């Protein structure tokens, strides 16, 4: 674990010079939460990421490149895991998890994508793979549900709701 943290610290050292181009907000309440954000600020001008955790043993990961991408992860509860991966320009991703043992993954490439996953209750799993300018939304309000969307074309809107 120490080796991984040291490696991440060394990798991020070259990005410190350009930190004014990038905005990260992070808030953690309670214990054993983990948040990780990686962004090459040399090419991520105007990108922003928000991670808010309240509860315990939540994990949030955000990766952004090259620019003007926006992501937000809210975790309220315990044992929730969220991943956001953005490559391209002008993408927006939001993950909201309340409850426990939820898993969410959003991957965006291309430009102008808008993706969101909302999970309430426990044991839910959802993923969005989005390429291009589209809108994808997954809402899971029950327990132990799975959903996935692969969106390859621009100009489409997809909404999945599970109760």
Please write the tens of the pLDDT for every residue from 1-49.
334 333 333 333 333 222 334 455 666 666 688 887 776 555 546 889 9
Closest CA to 21 of 73, 62, 69: 69
What is the tens place of the pLDDT at every residue in 94-130? 999 999 999 999 999 999 999 999 999 999 999 999 9
Structure tokens given for 2: 């120490």
Q: What is the pTM of this model?
A: 0.81
CA distance 6 to 86: 24
| pLDDT, position 11 | 36
């Amino acid at each position: 674990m120490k080796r991984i943290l040291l490696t991440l610290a060394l990798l991020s050292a070259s990005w410190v010079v350009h930190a004014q181009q990038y905005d990260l907000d992070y808030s953690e309440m309670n214990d054993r939460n983990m948040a990780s954000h990686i962004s090459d600020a040399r090419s991520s001008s105007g990108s922003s990421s928000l991670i808010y955790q309240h509860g315990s043993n939540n994990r949030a990961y955000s990766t952004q490149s090259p620019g003007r991408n926006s992501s937000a992860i809210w975790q309220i509860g315990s044992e929730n895991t969220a991943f956001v991966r953005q490559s391209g320009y002008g993408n927006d991703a939001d993950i909201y998890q309340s409850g426990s043992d939820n898993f969410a993954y959003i991957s965006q490439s291309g430009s102008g994508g808008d993706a969101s996953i909302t999970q309430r209750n426990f044991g839910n799993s959802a993923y969005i793979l989005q390429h291009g300018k589209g809108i994808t939304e997954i809402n899971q309000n029950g327990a132990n549900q799975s959903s996935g969307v692969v969106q390859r074309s621009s100009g489409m809107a997809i909404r999945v709701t599970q109760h």
